[in-house]
Amino acid sequence: MNEREIRDIEINKVNNKVRKNSEDIKAMLLNATWCEVNIKTYEKRIKHQEMLFNDIKSKLIKQIDRAVENAKKTHDIVDDLLKQKEALHAQLKKAHHFGMELCKFCERYFTPSGLKRHMTGCAKKPAVKKVAKHANEIKVEKANLEAKKAALIKLKEKEIADLQKG
């Protein structure tokens, strides 16, 4: 081989490397573009999922609000029904004691003539209650007095006994 042939071979070798390098750059640029497309796609998907999440969340919050409202209404209805039950119970009691009258103090039923007798001494009548309390105080006082008397008698008996011994 002469020098010219050797030079051509060398040029050819380098040209091949240059071509290969250009192809690699093109392939990598394509790869980079593909990566950017992927990044944008995933970002879009995240935004879409966030939108769906927010939509479901706001629906669930509305459902909670509605359930709370319903619970309040239900409680009110239960309160009403309990009041009705109380009223019905009173009505039933009255029906069972048809023709009888209610003592306003103890809320028991009596015949009209029986009520007159009962009311004067009804245990729940405010004045009677005071008297009963007073009566009880007197009873306690009496008991104390009896105890003091008994103690005094015992003391006197002991004094007499001591005198008899001495």
Q: Which residues bind Zn ion (CB under 5 A)?
A: 103, 105-106, 122
Q: Is 105 within 8 Å of 124 (Cβ atoms)?
A: yes
Nearer to Zn ion by Cβ, of 104 and 142: the residue is 104
Amino acid at 100: M
Cα gap 46→55, rounded to integer Å: 14
* Helix or strand (DSSP H, E) at 110: strand 109-110
Nearer to Zn ion by Cβ, of 107 and 137: the residue is 107
Nearer to Zn ion by Cβ, of 100 and 103: the residue is 103
Q: How far is the CB of 83 from Zn ion (least distance, A)?
A: 25
Cα gap 3→120, rounded to integer Å: 148
Q: How far is the CB of 137 from Zn ion (least distance, A)?
A: 23
Nearer to Zn ion by Cβ, of 131 and 161: the residue is 131
Cα gap 34→40, rounded to integer Å: 10
Q: How far is the CB of 107 from Zn ion (least distance, A)?
A: 7
Q: How far is the CB of 98 from Zn ion (least distance, A)?
A: 19
Q: How far is the CB of 125 from Zn ion (least distance, A)?
A: 7
Nearer to Zn ion by Cβ, of 4 and 96: the residue is 96
For 74, the token pair is: 């239900």
Q: Is 122 within 8 Å of 105 (Cβ atoms)?
A: yes
Q: Is 115 within 8 Å of 101 (Cβ atoms)?
A: yes
